[in-house]
Amino acid sequence: MSGATLMITPEAFATHREDFAAFVATIHRFASLLFIISFIGYGAAAWIWFQGATWTALIVATLAYLFFRQFRRLSLNLARIKYTLQPRYHPMLLLVDQMLEDHKPAVVVGQLESLLKKPQHITPSDPEP
């Protein structure tokens, strides 16, 4: 993130890198599912509209839109619930909570994604691949 301050220290991120990778992958799976569900709602609204129930179609389309607007926040919260049940992820979740105190979910996930894309540094004590 050019010019932006890091929300998490490089050391804390490196310590929990694998956990963050699994967490972000879970967020993406939930986001994909919620994205599909919202567009099913749009399809249902179109079908209802063609059946002649214009007001019902408008209500369904509005609900699908409102659901769509929240899918990033909802996907992060669903992933968080899944990982809360596993004690090994609690330190990583505490770091996520600290980041969420000051930033929106999309910003937090974006930073985690950018950190995950950076190559890991190999220290001299690490074995050569």
- Between residues 120 and 17, which one has the greater pLDDT? 17
How confident is the model at residue 2, as a pLDDT?
42
For the stretch 34-92, pLDDT in tens is 999 999 999 999 999 999 999 999 999 999 999 898 888 899 999 999 999 999 999 99
State the Cα angle at 33 between 43 and 113, rounded to 5°: 130
pLDDT digits (tens, 9 = 90+) for 85-122: 999 999 999 999 999 998 988 899 999 999 899 877 65
Cα dihedral 102, 3, 18, 83 in deg (nearest 10):
20
Q: Helices 17-50 and 105-117 meet at what angle, rounded to 10?
A: 130
Top pLDDT among 11 and 48 is at 48
Q: Identify the CA nearest to 70 among candidates 104, 40, 98, 103.
A: 104
Average pLDDT over residues 15-19: 92
d(CA 41, CA 73): 18
Q: What is the pLDDT of residue 9?
A: 85
- For residue 124, what pLDDT is reported? 44
Domain parsing of the chain, residue ranges: 12-117
- pTM, whole model, 2 decimals? 0.78
- Residue 3: the pLDDT is 41
Residue type, 94: L
In this prediction, residue 4 carries a pLDDT of: 52
